Amino acid sequence: MKDPAKLRLKPNLQGYAELRKKFKWSDAEKMVDWFPGGKINAGYNVIDRHAKGPRRNKIALIYDDGEGNATKLTFQQLFEMSNKFANVLKKLGVKRQDRVFFFLQRSPELYSGFVGAIKYGAIASPMFPAFGPDAIKDRLLDSGAVVLVTDSVLKKRVYEVKDQLPELKHMIIVGQDVAPNEVSWEKEMASASAMFETVPMDPEEFMYMLYTSGTTGKPKGVVHAHKDIVECHLSTYWVLDVHEDDVYWCTADLGWVTGVVYGVLGPWSNGTTQVGLGGRFEPERWYKTIQAYKVTVWYTAPTAVRMLMAKGDDLPKKFELSSLRANYSVGEPLNPEGVKWAMDVFDNKPFHDTWWQTETGSILITNFPEMPIKPGSMGKPLPGIEAAIIDEAGKVLEQGEEGNLAIKPGWPSMMRQIWKNPAKYNEYFRNGWYYTGDTAQIDKDGYFWYVGRADDVIKTAGERVGPFEVESALIEHPAVAEAGVIGKPDQLRGNIIKAFIVLTPGYTDSPQLREDIQKFVKNKLAGHAYPREIEIMQKLPKTRSGKIVRRLLRAKELGLPLGDTSTLED
């Protein structure tokens, strides 16, 4: 139970039970600005409306490069920067709904460029800066990206695959090392006009896309529309509970959906001052960031919470953290220990776990500020969201029964498309429900409890990794003949990636070989997407058609029953 006396501000969401009965999405649509004729632009809502009103000179972004050097930008300054970038796109001949990708470290250029692309009417997509050449190629090739904004260091990875990207016309480079065939960010932004009329978009026109991993094949492009801003705004207001004087910090990179929705769209639509921190995770620097900028609302991930916990309770006592009034978590289930730890360390301010996905576009089930937290629970659905536990036939299951977590389609921030793959999109929707791929159950008080994934997707440190991607990268290594990959439970990361491999004849197992294979995969995919454990096998369990049965690898690793083996090879 939270102590109401410790809540410094009255939560924005009041009377949850009554709201569940009365709320209509048309109510939320009144909270954002529209153009005549029912048109909208999320970028206008995020920046322009504040620059044209009383928040004009309010600080929108405090960007700390990770070394303690802070750049503070007002809504007016971000308005002008995003306008300039929109004009750069115009000069390059970019068309409405062309794909504009960003491969940058968190920076003012990334924030302003992303918003500017949306204001222009392009489809924006930030990529995680740790991606290797293969991950970059998969996304740029599938999307048909026309523009890539990157920097003089990261561009080297792009050039490893650039000759395989026929539709990529322009590379805009942030920094000094700009080749004759590239476009200079600094030069073009300096000469671009700060005046731009944000393009009124149809609510269903596409705003941004992000690639997410599945159990098979390459990552899939999840596409979101401008109308998403309705729910991004409302969920930030109700769940993250931002108020006018808050300083808000979302620790997620823009390469992940949390960084887009709750590191750009939702907070700025609400006119919130937010912190952006560069550099790598370091507990001391994170605490120092809260202290230096007097962060009041903090949204982070369970892996980060566990890493902070591992550093002990004495470290946070060295910092002044009393500015915090509300803490939130996302990415994977937050274990009860994390909730209780925060109650002790942050003066009765627990972490509120939030559940959502790249495909859902915003928080759908959560622990609300006005409600008691059940440590380990996902919480309750937002007003306007109908969630249930159902079986494969679409039958709603009883309280306490385990089944598929499903949502009634039609919420504003729902994905609109899997890029160029309607069959894959349709797989999500059956029996009048959106199947999330998660299994869960509901208790007698209406709280949802996460059980696990219904598929083989691995959640490691809060990020989704498709086993197929890792297996594909592994077998490109000359020493690896076959590979099967699973998620193995891990106290710190939730899961780690474990690979079972069959060596190519002529290769012998050694610590050096395993390390070389790990490094190879890390360089091809990303720093979080490599196997932390490798086990050498004589052969892998397969069906008669040759498909590796990951279920049996998992059963072997975790000591679980083998189940049906009738479809296996001898």
Residue range 420-445, pLDDT digits in tens: 999 999 999 999 999 998 888 999 99
- Kind and range of the H or E run holding 100: strand 99-103
pLDDT digits (tens, 9 = 90+) for 204-243: 999 999 998 765 668 899 999 999 999 999 999 999 999 9
Percent of the chain with pLDDT over 90: 69
pLDDT digits (tens, 9 = 90+) for 242-264: 999 999 999 999 999 999 999 99
| Predicted confidence (pLDDT) at residue 8 exceeds the cutoff of 50 | yes
C-alpha 333/C-alpha 272 separation (Å) is: 27
Q: In terms of pLDDT, which residue wins out, 274 or 449?
A: 274
Secondary structure class of 299 (helix, strand, coil): strand
Secondary structure class of 136 (helix, strand, coil): helix
C-alpha 93/C-alpha 85 separation (Å) is: 13
pLDDT digits (tens, 9 = 90+) for 323-339: 999 999 998 777 777 88
pLDDT range class, residue 481, cuts 50, 70, 90: confident
Burial of 180 (0-12, 13-18, 19+ CB in 10 A): exposed
pLDDT range class, residue 4, cuts 50, 70, 90: low
| Predicted confidence (pLDDT) at residue 447 exceeds the cutoff of 60 | yes
pLDDT at 37: 97
| Predicted confidence (pLDDT) at residue 74 exceeds the cutoff of 90 | yes
Q: Work out the angle between the directed axes of helices 511-524 and 467-474 (0-180°, nearest 10).
A: 120
State which amino acid sits at residue 372.
P
C-alpha 4/C-alpha 173 separation (Å) is: 50
- Which residue from 495, 471, 420, 454 is spatially nearest to 211, judged by alpha carbons? 420
C-alpha 487/C-alpha 506 separation (Å) is: 29
Residue 237: both structure tokens together: 């207001």
pLDDT digits (tens, 9 = 90+) for 83-102: 999 999 999 999 999 999 99
pLDDT at 413: 98
pLDDT at 476: 83
Q: Is the Cα torsion angle 191, 112, 115, 415 positive or negative in sign?
A: positive
pLDDT digits (tens, 9 = 90+) for 537-561: 988 887 554 557 777 888 888 887 7
Give me the residue label for tokens 């008691």: 372
Mean pLDDT, the chain, rounded, equals 91
pLDDT at 423: 95
Question: How many other CB atoms are found less than 10 A from the CB of residue 472?
Answer: 18
C-alpha 543/C-alpha 547 separation (Å) is: 5
Domains of the chain (ranges, CATH numbers): 4-439 (3.40.50.12780), 458-558 (3.30.300.30)
pLDDT at 567: 43
| Predicted confidence (pLDDT) at residue 566 exceeds the cutoff of 50 | no
Q: Is the Cα torsion angle 487, 488, 490, 496 positive or negative in sign?
A: negative
